[in-house]
Amino acid sequence: MMTRRKKRKVKKDDETTEPSVIEGDGIIVIKDLTKKFGGNVVLDNISLTIEKGKTTVIIGPSGCGKTVLIKHIILLLRPSSGEIYFKGRRIDNLNENELYKVRTNYGFLFQGGALFDSLSVADNITFPIRQHYKVKYWSKFDEFVKTKLSMVGLEGFQKFYPSNLSGGQRKRVALARAIALNPEVILYDEPTTGLDPIRSDVINELILKLQRELGVTSVVVTHDMTSAYKIADRIIMLHNGKIIADGNAKHIREHPHPVVQQFIHGQVNEDDLAVLRASGTIFQTQFLPRDFEE
Amino acid sequence: MIEIVGSKAVAVVNDAGRFGRFVWQTIVASVLSCAKTKTYPLIWAQMNIIGVRSVPIVMITGAFVGMILAVQAYDQLVSMGLEERLGVLINISVVKELGPVLAAVMLAGRVGGALTAELGTMNVTEQIDAVRSIGTNPIRYLVVPRVLACLLLTPALIIYGDLLGILGGYFVGVVQFKINSWAYWNFSAGGVELWDVLVGVIKGFFFGASIAVISCYKGFTCKEGAHGVGQACTEAFVASFISILALDYALAVIFKAIYNTFWSVRSLV
């Protein structure tokens, strides 16, 4: 059970099927995690140790189970089998009421932000505080909101509602909400998806800033390789529900597995090209409205 | 064929089990929340949305029910020379059955649909997961205030509906059909007991709770996308409507038994 405390070196050889830890202790340990939806195996016997104070990036093609994996870390989804530990304590067998307390150690940035529509930006950010503390000094709330918003570069947006914000602003407000309880671990589900390159870089800088200044442990799910290279201490690649590569940015860049190389360079493979070629030209396959007439 | 029927039956049993667990969690969270002042502002906000804003529609429904009953029943009673008893017929129908049931149906449409759509949208946009990830019980934060607001305010709305139903019937009977006002009220007072009014109001607690719980459950379990939310709203209304009718029948039987056992001998007690 206590193998999570063991330090293991990154495998420098070819295909890394076994997960490894670069250095330091594991704050989150996942053992033999399998998740099935009906007969569909999304995560297949995954074992993983997340190091404290480091940024771990999980990459992989769409539908490979990245979001499912990150949701298991905070137990928003329950595993079909396997074990999940947080700071040495097994949490996958806790009931929902016990988990609420554990979850206060986490911040979760959802893909779409998941801001509460009916609450203003200020109320969204103070929501976790109001849920977990008896607030006596409401005047301090203004200062609190101001501080959190300045951290994400959105001063003066207190009274705005989520519907008045752009995609990037929503993600930054969601990040401000995620750090409201000063969590030890922040989980990011595709933080840069749908943002322009400049806004994406702003989010990347924020993630780095949070790690530098607050020393938080970050787990980032993304398929944006620019972002992954910039923020990652360690990159894990998922494919068909399994870990196929695990190491630092250099290790991933030089990884010999063809799927890893194809993914990080964003290249279509020969099989997909063959299917496209076999389907004929666009001209041949295009229907005109008159084709549907008698 | 057997496989299809079997899998459907298993799905129904599973859904019933999930609903039962949801109801139980709601009851437990409601009881615990009553002791926490932090929940009161949430309940208060929902009371405004669910209760106050439903007053006009419930009152309009009640008024038209009373007026329609008067128009329909007048000719029958005149043919027997009993037109002065019109008030009894209208008022007892309104306070005991039609007022509560139609007010509840209106609420199932107005409030139940809105609850399902709101929670369903929160579900598909991961806002409910966000509540959980913050370490808050979504049933305590989202369901309990809505259920308690519905539970407490449906009886009050039924009283408004009853009041307007009585006035609507009076307006048509006395102003339009020129029935003697004193006779109208006198027969009404003799025919409608406090028990009849209480039955209607008590039904409101059950109707309100069932509308809120069903609507919240459908919102929590709705499928992805606009179609999923729309389907959940339809299912919530249909299930609420059927539950109102089923509860009305069950409560009618229970109250009848209670009346026959206790109310008729209350003077002796």
Residues B224-239 pLDDT 10s? 888 999 999 999 999 9
Residues A226, A218, B119, A131, CA torsion sign = negative
Using CB atoms within 10 A of its CB, is residue B195 exposed (0-12), middle (13-18) or buried (19+)? middle
Interchain CB distance below 8 Å, B134 and A181: yes
Q: Is residue B4 part of a domain?
A: no
pLDDT band at A281 (very low <50, low <70, confident <90, very high): confident
Find the domain containing B104 and state its range: 37-258
Residue A279's pLDDT band, with cuts at 50, 70 and 90, is confident
Does residue B231 belong to any structural domain of this protein? yes
Kindly indicate the confidence band of residue B254, based on its pLDDT and cuts at 50, 70 and 90: very high
- What pLDDT score was predicted for residue A38? 84
pLDDT mean across residues, chain A: 84
- Structural domain count of chain B: 1
Residue A15, pLDDT above cutoff 60: no
How do residues B124-166 score in pLDDT, each as one tens digit? Answer: 999 999 999 999 999 999 999 999 999 999 999 999 999 999 9
A27 and B CB contact within 8 Å = no
Distance from the A18 Cα atom to the nearest Cα atom in chain B, whole angstroms:
29
- Look at residue B19 in the predicted model and tell me its pLDDT: 94
> Which of A103, A116, A132 lies closest to B133 in CB terms?
A103
Q: Would an 8 Å CB–CB cutoff place B7 in contact with chain A?
A: no
Residue B74 lies in a domain: yes
Q: Which 76-95 residues of chain A touch chain B by CB within 8 A?
A: 76
pTM of the model: 0.84
User: Residue B248 domain-assigned?
Assistant: yes
Tell if the CB–CB gap between B134 and A103 is shorter than 8 Å. Answer: yes
Q: What is the pLDDT of residue B215?
A: 96
B130 at the A interface (CB within 8 A)? yes
pLDDT of residue B267: 66
Q: Render pLDDT for A233-272 as a digit per residue (tens, 0 to 9).
A: 999 999 988 999 998 888 888 889 888 898 888 888 777 7
Q: Tell me if B208 is assigned to some domain.
A: yes
Query: Over 60: is that where the pLDDT of A14 sits?
Result: no
Of the candidates A41, A43, A110, the residue with the CA atom closest to the CA atom of residue A74 = A110
Chain A residue numbers with beta carbons less than 8 Å from the beta carbon of B132 are: 76, 100, 103
Do the bridges between strand A55-59 and strand A217-221 make them parallel or antiparallel, or are there none, so unpaired? parallel
pLDDT average, residue stretch B243-260? 93
Are B126 and A103 within 8 A, CB to CB? no
Is residue B199 pLDDT above 80, yes or no? yes
Å between A108 CA and nearest CA of chain B: 7
Within-domain flag for B265? no
Contact A101/B at CB under 8 A: yes
Whether residues B137 and A96 touch (CB distance < 8 A) is answered with: yes
Query: Which of A105, A127, A181 to probe by mutation at the B interface, max B CB count within 10 Å?
Result: A127
pLDDT at A97: 87
- Confidence band for B264, pLDDT divided at 50, 70 and 90: low
Give the model's pLDDT for residue B145: 94
d(CA B206, CA B154): 9
Q: How far apart are CA B21 and CA B17, in angstroms?
A: 6
- pLDDT, residue A267, reads 81
The beta-carbon neighbor of B135 closest among A101, A116, A130 is A101
CB-based contact A43:A241 (threshold 8 Å): yes
Domain membership flag for residue B88: yes
Within-domain flag for B23: no
Could you give all domains of chain A from N- to C-terminal order, each with its CATH number? 23-116+183-286 (3.40.50.300)
Q: How far is B142 from chain A (nearest CA, A)?
A: 12
CA dihedral A35, A37, A41, A46 (to 10 degrees): -10
Secondary structure class of A1 (helix, strand, coil) = coil
**Residue numbers in A near B11 (CB within 8 A):** none
Q: pLDDT tens, A168-203?
A: 889 889 989 998 888 999 999 998 887 788 878 888
pLDDT score recorded for residue A133: 83
Q: Is the pLDDT of residue A5 over 60?
A: no
Name the pLDDT band for B2 (thresholds 50, 70, 90): confident
Q: Strand A234-239's sheet: what is its strand order?
A: A106-109, A185-189, A217-221, A55-59, A234-239, A242-247
Contact B132 A97 (CB under 8 A): no
In terms of CA atoms, which chain B residue is nearest residue A126?
B134
B68-91 per-position pLDDT tens digit: 999 999 988 888 888 888 889 999
Does the pLDDT value for residue A292 go beyond 90?
A: no
**Residue B268's CB: how many other CB atoms inside 10 A?**
5
B135 vs A96: CB contact, 8 Å cut-off?
no
Residue A78 C-alpha from the chain's centroid: 17
pLDDT at B35: 82
User: Which residue in A has a C-alpha nearest to residue B124's C-alpha?
Assistant: A114
Residue B22 touches partner A, C-beta closer than 8 Å? no
Chain A touched by B134 (CB under 8 Å): yes
Q: How far is CA A98 from the centre of its chain?
A: 23
